Structure 1
Amino acid sequence: MIDIHSHILPFVDDGSDSVADSLRIIEDAVAKGVTGIILTPHALRAGMPKLSKEEYERRFFEFRDEARKHCEVDLYFGQEIAYHPKIVKYLQAGELLTLNGTSFILLELPLFHPLEDYEELFYSCSVLNYKIIIAHIERYYYLSYNDIISLKQYGVMYQVNSNSITGEAGRYLRKRCLKLLKDGLVDFVGSDVHVDRKNDLHLAYQEVARRLSVADADRIFRENPRSYLNIR
């Protein structure tokens, strides 16, 4: 399995403030069948450290080298980019990181209120040759199910959190995720793991395989990350 959403790069966001804790999270994920992890620290989110792209990259390579001493796992880099009024400007300036150097960005929408114009944002990103994966689409309560279906017309892809599938995040999110999966709207699953939030990607995989099929689970947890995000 490949985890495309995680907060385990230490000292850069609310995910982990300890190298030892981050290594423990990775070792646990590997033991559960995860072979690749994209590290996606928060970017443009209020209250989080504001580091340069170069500083994020430096810290990633330093941590990756340390992780390789402890376990066999492929680590990749990106960011979970929070919506910001100047997000297009930052993308145009090349100040934000895509997922594993591809054209895909992991975008976090505002958590509590809708954007005024999704079409303008998505179009502006496409003009710059960026493609959008919306992070944990199930968590935006202001989006109705029909809204989620409608946004697909703009060519965006959807990631859901593994703990929403398993029910760890609550009954409502589980029900919503299972319907999204059944209707073929989920493109990726990520753990969104933090030091205080366990990685249960393997349990989500088992649930998808049971409710849909092993082929569907493999497509979402393995094949899509490999084909779209150049994961080995």
Structure 2
Amino acid sequence: MIDIHCHILPNVDDGAECMQEAINMAKIAKEQGINKIIATPHYHPEFKYAKGEELKEIYKEFKNELKENNIDIEMYLGNEIYYTYDLIDKFSELDFYSLNDSKYILIEFPPNNFPNNLCNVVYEIKQQGFTPILAHVERYIKIHEDPEIIYDCIKTGAIIQINSSSLIGKQGKEFQKICNLLISRNMVHLVSTDAHSDTRRRPLLKDAYEYVEKKHSKSMAENLFINNAQCILDNRDIIIEEPLEKQIEKVSLLSRIFRR
């Protein structure tokens, strides 16, 4: 499997706190059947997270440590970009990393200041030459209230990612419910760990893969955990299934009469 959202690099953000913890995370990932990871440390214009060349050097050091520890995982570099209202205007000035130097960027939104015009944001990012992957969409209250936001974003060109822990109910039934709703309507393209440590938020995918395989289908699981992520690594277009429109229940005139 391939994890395209993981805070595994040590001492760069709120993820792994040291090299040993990062190595432990990699061992867990390998045991889970994860063979490729895109490290996606937070990129926040106002926070002093490691970025640019400093981040690339830490990434190279971690890859060397994996080799020294005989952990056979392929590593790639990216960022999880924090959206601010002036972000797009500054795109050309910022030193963030797209996912494996592809056209895909991973982007998250402030939960308490979620943009009302999300489709416009997607459109503007596309105009900059990138394809936005909307991170852990199940965590936003506005999506619970109106899943059609995701439908519209996909039609505008967004790729949708959810967290594995949400999908299997580790974050509560409501998170699991919205994940399943989105999957059933072809409105999820990637399931990732969003792992931050080797204890509390670990890089776990196996149970989520088996859950999708059982509840939905094996082909769906293959796409969400492997095929679509490989397209990102190869900088190829993900084959997007047409998202399903909301089903509006139609009540016949005859049934209305009998209900009276």
Q: Could you tell me the TM-score, scaled by structure 2's length?
A: 0.84
The match for 1:166 is 168
Residue 15 of structure 2 contacts residue 196 of structure 2 at CA under 8 Å; is this kept in 1? yes
Deviation at 1:147, TM superposition (A): 1.8
Q: Which residue of 1 aligns with 2:191?
A: 189
Letter in 2 for 1:149: Y
- Give aligned-pair identity as a percent: 30
Rounded Cα–Cα distance in structure 1 between residues aligned with 2:160 and 2:45: 20
1:18-68 CA distances to partner (integer Å, 9 max, x unpaired)? 11011011111101100001100011176x424341111111111111112
The CA distance in 2 between the partners of 1:170 and 1:219, in whole Å, is: 25
Q: CA offsets, 1:51-98, max 9 Å, x none? A: 341111111111111112220000111010010123224422252110
Rg bigger for which structure?
Answer: 2
Q: Is 1:210 paired with 2:248?
A: no
> Quick one: which amino acid aligns to residue 111 of structure 1?
P
Rounded Cα–Cα distance in structure 2 between residues aligned with 1:138 and 1:168: 13
Bigger shift: 32-41 or 59-68?
59-68
Matches within 5 A, 1:95-174: 95-143=95-143, 144-174=146-176
SS in 2 for 1:107: strand
| 1:73 aligned residue | 73
Corresponding residue number in structure 2 for 1:59: 58
- The C-alpha deviation readout for 1:94-143, integer Å capped at 9, x for no partner, is 52110011010000012123214334422322222111000001111122
Q: What residue ranges of structure 2 are gaps of 5+ in the alignment?
A: 236-260
The amino acid across from 2:227 in the alignment is E
* Segments of 4+ moved more than 2 angstroms: 48-52, 116-124
Distance across 2 between alignment mates of 1:64 and 1:152:
34
- Separation of aligned partners in 2, 1:221 and 1:103: 19
Q: 1:194-222 CA deviation, whole Å, 9 max, x = no partner?
A: 11312221110000000111111011111
Equivalent residue number for residue 18 of structure 1: 18
What is the distance in 2 between the residues matched to 1:194 and 1:155?
A: 28
- After superposition, the Cα gap between the structure-2 partners of 1:145 and 1:120, relative to the gap in structure 1 and judged at 3 Å, is closer
8 Å Cα contact 1:113/1:142 also seen in 2:
no
Aligned residues: 230
Give the gaps of 5 or more residues in structure 1: none
Root mean square deviation of aligned Cα: 1.6
TM-score in terms of structure 1 length: 0.93
